[in-house]
Amino acid sequence: MDTAPGLLNVIDIEATCWDGQPPPGAVSEIIEIGLTVVDLRAAERVARHRVLVRPARSSVSAFCTGLTGLTQAEVSTGISFAEACRLLAAEHRAGSRPWTSWGDYDRNQFTRQCRATGTPYPFGRHHTNAKIPFTAAHGLRKRPGMAQALEVAGLPLEGRHHSGADDAWNIAALVLDLVSRDAWPAPDA
């Protein structure tokens, strides 16, 4: 178990993407992992990390650069997906620390990419789709996107939308909004 109880990893990824179908043989791959550590007991964001990941079976399209700001040259300096997963496990206690993302896309993309590459899945079983408690706490009928959720909560969008590091930071602010409302679920035992 994590030696620092009350810490939560907030994860947001960016992946290769295209305006339409991927080129033949290309698949969507993680190119950036944004991670913000939240101390739930102190109700504050305590660390911010960005991991660039070098894609192996695709490249960054002009559409993807327009959306994320990431270029092929930039992600080519990153580490391999397997190294990124080892880093999450070793330095961020991903296997034992509870984690959250805005929706299930990030969890599903990690699952798909780990299976496709034979890389051990770095996270433990304590995942929260932050959209669910947010939607309930704010009495919404539909689950909002992150930027819309920030508006609902009266919080600013800090940084660039579709930057993994900035989005993780903003999702962490939404988590803290839920903590202040006593609406953040405790991880199951």
Distance of alpha carbon 145 from alpha carbon 52, whole angstroms: 24
Contact 36, 169 (CB under 8 A): yes
CATH code assigned at 155: 3.30.420.10
* Predicted confidence (pLDDT) at residue 3 exceeds the cutoff of 80: no
- Please write the tens of the pLDDT for every residue from 94-116: 999 999 999 999 999 999 999 99
Asked whether residue 185 is assigned to any structural domain, the reply reads no
Q: Residue 58 and residue 41: Cα distance in Å, rounded?
A: 41
Query: Is position 188 within any domain?
Result: no
pLDDT digits (tens, 9 = 90+) for 32-77: 999 999 999 999 999 999 999 999 999 999 999 999 999 999 999 9
For the cut 90, the answer to whether the pLDDT of residue 5 exceeds it is no
Distances (CA, A) of 117 to 1, 22, 35, 158: 27, 19, 22, 34
Domain count of the fold of the chain: 1
Q: Is position 69 within any domain?
A: yes
Residue 156's pLDDT is 98
Whether the full predicted model's pTM is greater than 0.75, yes or no, is yes
Position 4 confidence tier, pLDDT thresholds 50, 70, 90:
low
79 located within any domain: yes
Q: Identify the domain containing residue 100 by its residue range.
A: 7-180
Domain assignment present for residue 1? The answer is no
State the pLDDT at residue 1.
43
Determine the average pLDDT of the residues in 16-39. Answer: 97
Query: Residue 105: inside a domain, yes or no?
Result: yes
- 116-162 per-position pLDDT tens digit: 999 999 999 999 999 999 999 999 999 999 999 999 999 999 999 99
Average of per-residue pLDDT values in the chain: 95
Tell me what pLDDT residue 186 has: 80
